[in-house]
Amino acid sequence: MKSTFILRFAVAVILVVHSVAGMFNGGVNDFGRLYLDAVGFAPFGLILAWMIKISHLVAAILLLANRYVKLASIVTIFVLMMGIIMIHFQEGWFVVGGGRNGMEFNFLLIFVLLAIMFPNGFQKSSSTSDL
- In contact, 2 and 120? CB cutoff 8 Å: yes
Domain that holds residue 112: 5-117
Q: Does residue 128 fall inside a structural domain? A: no
Q: Does residue 9 fall inside a structural domain? A: yes
* Choice between 126 and 118, residue whose per-residue pLDDT is larger: 118
pLDDT the model gives residue 1: 44
The predicted model scores a pTM of: 0.90
* Choice between 18 and 130, residue whose per-residue pLDDT is larger: 18
Q: Does residue 39 fall inside a structural domain? A: yes
Terminal Cα-to-Cα distance of the chain (whole angstroms) = 13
pLDDT the model gives residue 2: 65
Pinpoint the alpha helices (H) of the chain. 5-24, 27-30, 45-65, 69-83, 104-117
- Non-local CB neighbours of 124 within 8 Å, separated by 6+ positions: none
pLDDT the model gives residue 117: 97
- Non-local CB neighbours of 1 within 8 Å, separated by 6+ positions: 119, 126
- Number of structural domains in the chain: 1
Residue type, 103: M
Q: Does residue 43 fall inside a structural domain? A: yes
Q: Does residue 123 fall inside a structural domain? A: no
Percent of the chain whose pLDDT exceeds 70: 93
| Span 37-59, average pLDDT | 98
- In contact, 84 and 91? CB cutoff 8 Å: no
Cα–Cα distances in angstroms (integers) from residue 36 to residues 6, 62, 66, in the given order:
33, 27, 32
Q: Does residue 18 fall inside a structural domain? A: yes
| Span 8-29, average pLDDT | 97
pLDDT class for 122, splitting at 50, 70, 90? confident
- In contact, 112 and 11? CB cutoff 8 Å: yes
pLDDT the model gives residue 124: 73
| Span 44-57, average pLDDT | 98
Provide the 10 A C-beta neighbour count for residue 74. 15
